[in-house]
A and B are shown apart, each in its own frame.
Chain A
């Protein structure tokens, strides 16, 4: 794309290219998205648009793509900050110039505080190749001298600047925002131009695409300077002239200077670099032995591995390997595979558990190179989802790493490839409802308390506009004037999705063979030893940078810790690859939703679903994970899938050609791949177009992307003779995935972890509990809930005791879990070494011995006393708390042993009662191993007829029996399918005598092959069997179905039984897919109770629901095939809070 060039009036109409524009990626100094800028520039008919965000190219990729879509020429630029907070506008003429911009931006950020980049003159001078420079806004060095009337200095600076750049590449920048200062500056710069012979160019220093965005710009300025609109004063621009202007408008402003506009076109012609094309940045180079090529080495490794992994290399296997190798060779991806393999090998060698997720399990190459644990053929995983010849983007390999060890791996990558070649992907932190309300409210000068009140209202809301929610809830405090409220809502909505600052992506890393800083600027992250590129994952992907995700996963930590504990205690060495996925006990536990703490299927929604879906094989787990996702849930696929699985809805296909695609998921699309396949099957999409659909589903704001493909889909379906009603339904199903669904391969990889975690919980609950306590924070549940769950399963959990505890939780000789010091408030990692070293060196002989050896400060000794850690030395908590000061280092210093005891004075304190002990437990460790919290309310609750969680289950069983015995015609209730025999093991204590390991077979043997006897082929077989049951690949046999139920599921679940329950609120959720329903989970001393609250009840009891840590709920018992809920009618507080309840996990 080139401009007409030359004459600004080309063809009579003036022409203009805007060369100085800030998008909202100037971070709080730009009030329009790059896409809005591009659209408006195209609308105005500008010849080109340059994005010149502050000190980086943060929004350049987006602008380039948006401009391309509008047929507009885009120019990559940057407004760099020089010493003294002076600005200079730089534009890239070509790839070299772009590299210069990236390098300069990198250098400006190097060793600087975040948000305070600055470039030294020497560095600027060293990287000016391929650049066009403009003298900058009024904050530029030359314009500032001109405005100050120091013409000599302005001339000398202009001459010096021009000398830095190639001849003809430096321009004096004129701006006219209808301000007197611009006029003065402009006149002076014209004088400078006359004296130096430098050309002038007009720009508008654009900060928003339309004048009406000026208000938002003012608000952003206030946010940036932590001011309010009333106090910001001259920090705000005086008028709204900083918007994109047409050529005619600019010509009017510079009526006497046609050359200033002509030069914009000249510069636009000089700049010929398009960032919407892929960057050639060089994939990472791998170390290859004996001078072989990377591809040859990969080929050799793969075939060697395939021969080991597969007993028989079938044609299917061979063809798949050949196809993937061909693709690898064609796209030069061998180095990439070797790089990922190198990281995986580092993990293995460093005893760090690693697995892959995402689409990579669909690749046999990944499997053969040891990157993936899932055998793709038997799992029916599509290679095309991972990579295809039609894919525009490179493949994406995500590695799951133990979350507590991830930093080691990241630092390894930095070390291995160098900071010049490796950096993390950024995460653009954008405004959402709460943050928008907070920042806009502050800028409008609202009191903090009011802002917090409004922000809190939004904490449980998602989705639609802020104004709608606030209006609906009538929550705007009456003291806020209407005008301010209107501004607040409008501006908060406008600021939605505006980038605020850069964070770090959860694990994405870019590795390159060429210096990365010449492809994208690198800057230090706030976190120590981390550097990030200036783009998020989507922009990296658009620019063709391959990302490797090194994701920290708490569950990996848990599993690895549990493996170690099991090996240490039982001598059984476990690996992820060694599981056979056929243990009925695992599926029994899943069917009973006994899944607290396990991976993925521990959420409230999963727990409510599992008793109905009753997974019986590995593939059931794969589906179970995938159906409770926003994508399938938004289209109600999960409910229909359950009905079909229960035989309560016939399995049908919307169009015959969909049968092969959807057969294994009972006629319904569950996975992302199926959407691609559906598009190919019914709309005739090519693989490339289907891949575009996949990309649309994977990206942020995917709904808009998918909607952009709607016409093609509908047209394709029409051409294939799909009836109109069916077309719409198919499209709706596909569109539903804009809300995010899993690829099958990803679900498969996760299912593996689900299986392993359930297996650990079923067979080694003590080790599982110990591991999960040591892996916190992770998952949905607080340690208090997890401990309660373990205790209900017969695991003994002991509190902190200085005679036995280590820093981490441990398993004691009798199989009990001992809580570690990590749970003691204020006792951080700093004391870990001394505590572990001292206990290793011998038991403490006395309290004084402990204090003398560890030399913990007085406040921590007091907390330990409160936690009861000294009980073992016959020190009652209050007594210990009273006397412990005598043993603090500050008291006794290095005095002779025995002296401290002499300092003790008896206070004759009354021993702490149970409630005080409970309070002490929660205050000192955040949980209690002895008290659940609700037992103190129980006498009153029992008197009020409030049921426990156990009581509720018993009642539900009775109701079921009654219904079965005398079904009522007016309120039909289905016969519940007979559940498999309850596992006695579940409620029985786990045998834990280390000298006499439990006979595993007798409790449902953990069928885990020892590593020595295990080969990859066995694993593959095992997985194949687990997935298919030696039959056609499908979900397990549906349980026996009753007659079709004509009522809705909700009506079916109603029992008509009124109940009251109460408990600590451990979870609050209000998913956007739930039509305004709110879900609570209460925990009492016997278990968990699920509460459903309809919008009306929520509105009535909102404050209680949002704020109270303990609730009593009166409502109707609902029983959906064994999944129990209480539909709340009335909520109240059961009485004064006896303990400070652990924090709940809300709105997650």
Chain B
């Protein structure tokens, strides 16, 4: 029986996923790019982006210029890999040997499937139709004797999107252009000069010379051109699933009882992980209500762990937070679930991300490690309880002069133990956390007023006695203030001279000024949003120190911060 291989290629897999997740992008050209490569090349482009002149491999900047209206999404391999599992599962229905070649590409061993699914082309159509119907993804399907030929068939499948070779792979490939081969550009150019422009001619060249001229890579390519693809399909491995669940026989609302059940699940999960030498770094919890509606949420652990207590706690915190939150829950949310009928019938917890056990037990080491561990736990609890928003890292923004914006928020919080490597579930492939370039961070620190502690520059003690040794608490946004003359009650301007008798009113306070020092002039940001401020140090009669500024264009005063 001749071997047969099917290639399933989803050329718009990533962009289709993104478009589905963001319906507002439906009419826009869409492209996924490699965020960490030097030129951030496009990895995949949607059909509309192709029509707009974008192509895979195009540098990001060039693409932006060519099609400014396009939406560019950074590649997110775990997300796409996870999503592609659905297609792989479907392919499992057709053949026991399915190879996962990365998001959007799979091979299946089609040898002997004819009696089950009919002729080759019919099989290809069935695969295509099944995927389309079950997932909505458009795929190209190619069938040939080997995986290379099958992939070429899928790539050249045309509008129908299916192709099956009717001849031997060698014959099928012979007339195809040399560019189809994975050859270095230099070799392709030289072969073109030699008049070798199709795979057939390349396949007929003396093998030894090909190896000598183009190395093993060239020889391997020549074999492919000859229809000899020796690479066997690698059946995909089933991911390890660490999942535990409990089904209640009643509608459960009581958190304590739920926690008790959770403890049992967590214990079992921890034991299984320990046996496998694995640690969990992310959990997924699912609750199923008695009306069969489901709610799933993902929970980051403070650090990779095998401890049942940790697993139990993160889930409980989440449920606890929902119960204690002062905000009225949104319909359909976890909180609403807990408060409304029907109650919970099933709880399922699953490890969403795994890493190999590193032999590291931070609590065995010195106090610092313990402190870090505690801090991490606290932060994790805060995040789980109050949401991602409340905990973030900040860094001095290199491009900002305005004090209230000088500290930029870095969204991704990474526990201080720092060496955490998030591994792809079930595969162990390393994936470092994204390093955030603070220059790319959007300005502002969110809604409402926040204060941030910053180091205070040295001050001459005799002039800024109140500020000495203290630290400046910044207001974001700065507080509007009014400077008044004690004698006349008039608003004072940005004039120099005697400050005796000045008062300041801000944030409901109204105090006399005993000293105002400045101005320290700030004129920045002329290229986008001009920052025109004259800063003053102000000493209040009560002994507090303030940092205030006058904005000449609007002639307004603001309190930037107080010295604690």
Contact = CB atoms under 8 A, between A and B. Distances in A.
17 contacts: A178-B520, A179-B520, A180-B535, A230-B528, A233-B397, A234-B401, A238-B401, A238-B522, A239-B521, A449-B65, A862-B190, A881-B194, A885-B212, A886-B209, A886-B212, A891-B212, A919-B193
Listed from nearest, the 5 A-B pairs whose CB atoms lie closest are A905-B206, A178-B521, A233-B398, A239-B521, A239-B523
A233 B399 contact: yes
Interface in B500-530: 519-524, 526-528
B419 to A, nearest CB: 29
Given A178-B520, A183-B460, A905 B65 contact: no
A149 B458 contact: yes
Interface residues of A, number: 53
Contacts of A447: 61, 64-65
B439 A231 contact: yes
A916 B212 contact: no
Contacts of B190: 862, 881
B209 A907 contact: yes
A903 B208 CA distance: 9
B520 A231 contact: no
Interface string A232-267: 111010111100000000000000000000000000
B65 A479 contact: yes
Contact of A184 (B62, B193, B460, B526): B460
Nearest to A877: B193
A182 to B, nearest CB: 9
Output the residue of A214, A883, A885 with the most chain B CB within 10 A.
A885
A449 B62 contact: yes
Contacts of B401: 233-234, 238
B520 A920 contact: no
Nearest to A179: B520
B232 interface: no
Contacts of A903: 208, 212
A187 B460 contact: yes
Given A233-B401, A447-B65, 14 more contacts: A230-B399, A238-B521, A238-B523, A239-B522, A240-B523, A241-B521, A449-B62, A479-B68, A881-B194, A885-B213, A905-B208, A905-B209, A916-B193, A916-B195
B153 to A, nearest CB: 28
A920 B193 contact: yes
A822 interface: no
Contacts, number: 105
Interface string B460-500: 10000000000000000000000000000000000000000
Interface string B79-109: 0000000000000000000000000000000
A153 B401 CA distance: 31
B457 interface: yes
A866 interface: yes
B558 to A, nearest CB: 17
B464 to A, nearest CB: 10
A240 B523 CA distance: 7
Given A866-B193, A907-B206, A916-B195, A236 B524 contact: yes
Chain A interface mostly: helix
Nearest to B186: A859
A240 B62 CA distance: 36
A906 interface: yes
B205 interface: yes
B194 A882 contact: yes
B400 interface: yes
Contacts of B522: 238-239
A178 B398 CA distance: 22
A236 B399 CA distance: 9
Interface string A879-919: 00111011000010000000000011111011010001001
A1146 interface: no
Contacts of A181: 457
B551 to A, nearest CB: 14
Given A180-B457, A449-B61, A449-B62, A230 B213 contact: no
A882 B209 contact: yes
Nearest to B401: A238
A495 to B, nearest CB: 15
A811 interface: no
A444 B528 CA distance: 10
Given A862-B190, A881-B193, A916-B195, A230 B61 contact: no
Interface string A159-178: 00000000000000000011
A878 B528 contact: no
A635 interface: no
Interface in A411-458: 444, 447-450
A184 to B, nearest CB: 6
A309 interface: no
Interface string B204-216: 0110110011000
B310 to A, nearest CB: 40
A449 B61 CA distance: 8
A477 to B, nearest CB: 8
A184 B458 CA distance: 8
A12 to B, nearest CB: 22
Contacts of A239: 521-524
A934 interface: no
B527 A231 contact: no
Contacts of B524: 236, 238-239
Interface string A604-644: 00000000000000000000000000000000000000000
Output the residue of B61, B190, B212, B439 with the most chain A CB within 10 A.
B212
Contacts of B213: 885
Contacts of A178: 519-521
B398 A231 contact: yes
Given A178-B519, A878-B195, A487 B527 contact: yes
A444 B65 contact: no
Output the residue of A178, A447, A881 with the most chain B CB within 10 A.
A178
Contacts of B439: 230-231
Nearest to B59: A449
A66 interface: no
A448 B459 CA distance: 44
Nearest to A188: B460
A885 B460 CA distance: 77
A482 B396 CA distance: 31
Contacts of A234: 398, 401
A745 interface: no
Contacts of B457: 180-181, 184
A880 to B, nearest CB: 10
A946 interface: no
Nearest to B399: A233
Interface string A188-218: 0000000000000000000000000011001
A920 B193 CA distance: 7
B521 A179 contact: yes
A882 B204 CA distance: 13
Contacts of A184: 457-460
A742 B83 CA distance: 76
A241 B519 CA distance: 12
B436 to A, nearest CB: 15
Contacts of A218: 526-527
B212 A912 contact: no
A482 to B, nearest CB: 13
Nearest to B194: A878
A606 B368 CA distance: 83
Interface in A113-153: 149
B4 to A, nearest CB: 33
A809 interface: no
A229 interface: yes
Contacts of B458: 149, 184
Contacts of B397: 233
A240 B171 CA distance: 75
A869 B520 CA distance: 74
A891 B195 CA distance: 24
Interface string B320-342: 00000000000000000000000
Contact of A885 (B209, B528, B535): B209
